[in-house]
């Protein structure tokens, strides 16, 4: 199978090349030329399988230039007992009749980014070998919080790679920041950028699309690549858990083969929900994809009006990994939903860059509404969800998952839909202890307290164990203290790579 650029269909590359380079040279994203289909009997065959076997099955359909043995090796290195706290890897929790949480945070950094970033380095390493590449690959990451740590953890000490992470100085939690600035490994670097996530992301994108700078790097034997969800190698592993959750529901006799389910996805960069869209296009029986946003509700408006408009004030919320106004992966969806209209996609992306806005025609808008339902929750609603679900069910959600639950409730209220629904749970509540405790015990309970004491307090209050990746964080020495302006990001990269 070949991959095309969303901005120029005539660009066609194998998956190894797409994964190695991350972004197409024209600034477009790589998408599969055809979307592979599974029959219902092929879906049924996933039910008795382990997570890893399900992953090999799904990934092999996309990574056709990899041997099955290569895919298997990558999968087994990523989803292992050493890295994940549960053998199920992505367990389902049944909250109530017909409502489930898909817990994607049992990996080393306690957020769903591990699902992709534990495997990406292995896929990338193979991709480098397959394409005969001799340069050292430099991974540049802009993070809204969880990606950075998950990428650092995934790439640390992976031979032939270096990783540089930029995080927004305003807009990651204390725990997220501490996780990153204490990162160990001989190939890692971390810097803060003054500003928010969009500043960091657009800075990284600019470096990526700068051909002159690419030449400078090449002369020094470096090649840039991306671990952001614009990289196909990041996105494709996320398709697996949608199939896996459906297979688990079949196995547990929660559904019958072919029965449609809804997925609710707390959304920022549109990566996770795009993976759900691919799963649906591949034949997974999906009814509605419910796109949940926080107050940065640019996607809610887009789904409801067909106008994507980032000209609005950026809000720092208690679900920081969703504080995003430019949802990069939407570009891939637009390509598919327009039947591969690369000229149109290019024009919209140009409008977005120049004017911060684009509008899709009625036909496209209607197609979008058939597939998605969009809603959002503000912080007060998010806290109320955490509190009420804890009271009613004794289940503790993090803030991102709570946004999804809140939007799901609004969806049910508006539509009366009783279709069985999987809510994607994207982070451990411990990762956002401050907010979670405030929601459960009131703001006074956390005010002025050390964020690391709050981990202990949340453990006491809920009777849950602090995940391994977070316990002991307080004692770890801080290694990275650099802060730069957006305009200085080039210098930071050059400096880190010792360029002349
Ligand atoms: C990244 C992240 C999201 C948003 O996922 P996207 O793929 O960017 O839409 C939601 N929740 C958490 C905890 C995250 O880390």
pLDDT over threshold 90, residue 21: no
Residue 22 placed within a domain: yes
Residue numbers annotated as active site: 113
Residue 323 placed within a domain: yes
| Cα separation, 238 vs 225, whole angstroms | 19
Starting at the earlier edge strand, list the strands of the sheet with 99-103.
92-96, 99-103, 421-425, 261-266, 286-293, 372-376
The domain containing residue 443 runs over which residues?
Answer: 1-112+232-470
Distance 271 CA to ligand 1 centre (A): 8
Domain count, the chain: 1
Residue 67 placed within a domain: yes
CATH assignment of the domain containing 104: 3.40.50.1100
Closest CA to 307 of 229, 373, 372, 368: 368
Q: Which atom of ligand 1 is nearest to the CA of 426?
A: 13
Q: What is the pLDDT of residue 171?
A: 77
Give me the mean pLDDT over the 438-449 stretch.
90
Q: Are 34 and 1 in contact (CB under 8 A)?
A: yes
Q: What is the pLDDT of residue 196?
A: 87
Q: What is the pLDDT of residue 298?
A: 98
Q: Which atom of ligand 1 is nearest to the CA of 271?
A: 7
Residue 293 placed within a domain: yes
Ligand 1 and 103: CB distance under 6 A? no
Query: For 335-345, how does the pLDDT look when each residue is reduced to its tens digit (9 = 90+)?
Result: 999 999 999 99
Residue 202 placed within a domain: no
| Cα separation, 134 vs 220, whole angstroms | 12
Bridging pattern class, strands 99-103 and 421-425 = parallel
Indicate the average pLDDT of the chain: 95
Distance 296 CA to ligand 1 centre (A): 13
Residue 12 placed within a domain: yes
Give me the mean pLDDT over the 75-82 stretch.
95
Q: What is the pLDDT of residue 143?
A: 87
Q: If you write DSSP's letter for every residue of 201-214 in order, what string do you get?
A: HHHHHHHHT-HHHH
For a substitution probing ligand 1, which of 272, 299, 386 has the most ligand atoms within 8 Å of its CB? Answer: 272
Q: In degrees to the nearest 10, what's the CA dihedral of 244, 247, 252, 254?
A: 110
pLDDT over threshold 80, residue 217: yes
Ligand 1 and 322: CB distance under 6 A? yes
pLDDT over threshold 90, residue 472: no
Distance 405 CA to ligand 1 centre (A): 14
Percent of the chain surpassing pLDDT 70: 100
Ligand 1 and 268: CB distance under 6 A? yes
Atom 14, ligand 1: which residue's CA is nearest? 321
Residue 9 placed within a domain: yes
Residues in Cβ contact with 419 at an 8 Å cutoff, skipping those fewer than 6 apart: 98, 260, 261, 262, 287, 288
Residue 178 placed within a domain: no
Give me the mean pLDDT over the 162-185 stretch.
91
Ligand 1 and 61: CB distance under 6 A? no
């Amino acid at each position: 199978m070949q991959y095309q650029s969303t901005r120029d269909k005539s660009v066609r590359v194998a998956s190894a090349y797409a994964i190695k380079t991350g972004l197409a040279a024209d600034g477009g994203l790589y998408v599969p030329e055809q979307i592979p289909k599974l029959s219902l009997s092929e879906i049924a065959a996933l039910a008795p399988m382990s997570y890893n076997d399900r992953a090999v099955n799904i990934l092999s359909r996309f990574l056709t230039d990899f041997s099955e043995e290569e895919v298997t090796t990558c999968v087994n290195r990523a989803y292992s007992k050493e890295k994940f706290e549960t053998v199920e890897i992505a367990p389902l929790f049944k909250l109530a009749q017909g409502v489930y949480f898909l817990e994607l945070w049992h990996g080393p950094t306690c957020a769903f980014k591990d699902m992709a970033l534990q495997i990406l380095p292995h896929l990338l390493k193979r991709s480098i070998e397959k394409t005969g590449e001799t340069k050292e690959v430099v991974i540049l990451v802009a993070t809204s919080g969880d990606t950075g740590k998950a990428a650092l953890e995934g790439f640390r000490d992976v031979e032939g790679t270096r990783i540089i992470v930029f995080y927004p100085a305003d807009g990651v939690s204390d725990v997220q920041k501490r996780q990153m600035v204490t990162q160990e490994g001989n190939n890692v670097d971390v810097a803060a950028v003054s500003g928010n996530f969009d500043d960091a992301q657009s800075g990284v994108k600019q470096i990526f699309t700068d051909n002159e700078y690419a030449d400078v790097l090449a002369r020094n034997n470096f090649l840039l690549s991306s671990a952001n969800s614009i990289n196909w190698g990041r996105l494709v592993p996320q398709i697996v858990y949608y199939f896996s959750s459906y297979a688990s529901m079949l196995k547990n006799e929660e559904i019958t083969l072919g029965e449609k389910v809804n997925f609710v996805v707390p959304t920022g960069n549109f990566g996770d929900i795009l993976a759900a869209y691919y799963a649906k296009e591949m034949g997974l029986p999906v009814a509605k994809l419910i796109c949940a946003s926080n107050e940065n509700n640019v996607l809610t408006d887009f789904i409801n009006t067909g106008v994507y408009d980032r000209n609005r004030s950026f809000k720092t919320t208690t679900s920081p990994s969703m504080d995003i106004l430019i949802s990069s992966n939407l570009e891939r969806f637009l390509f598919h939903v327009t039947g591969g209209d690369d000229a149109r996609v290019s024009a919209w992306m140009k409008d977005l860059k120049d004017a911060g806005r684009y509008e899709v025609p009625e036909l496209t808008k209607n197609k979008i509404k058939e597939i998605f339902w969009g809603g959002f929750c503000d912080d007060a609603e998010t806290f109320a969800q955490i509190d009420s679900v804890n009271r009613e069910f004794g289940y503790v959600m993090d803030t991102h998952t709570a946004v999804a639950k809140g939007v799901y409730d609004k969806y049910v209220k508006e539509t009366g839909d009783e279709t069985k629904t999987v809510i994607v749970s994207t982070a451990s509540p411990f990762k956002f202890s401050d907010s979670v405790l405030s929601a459960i015990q009131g703001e006074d309970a956390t005010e002025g307290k050390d964020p690391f004491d709050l981990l202990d307090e949340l453990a006491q209050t809920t009777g849950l164990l602090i995940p391994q990746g977070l316990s002991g964080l307080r004692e770890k020495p801080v290694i990275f203290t650099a802060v730069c302006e957006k305009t200085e990001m080039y210098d930071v990269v050059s400096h880190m790579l010792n360029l002349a």
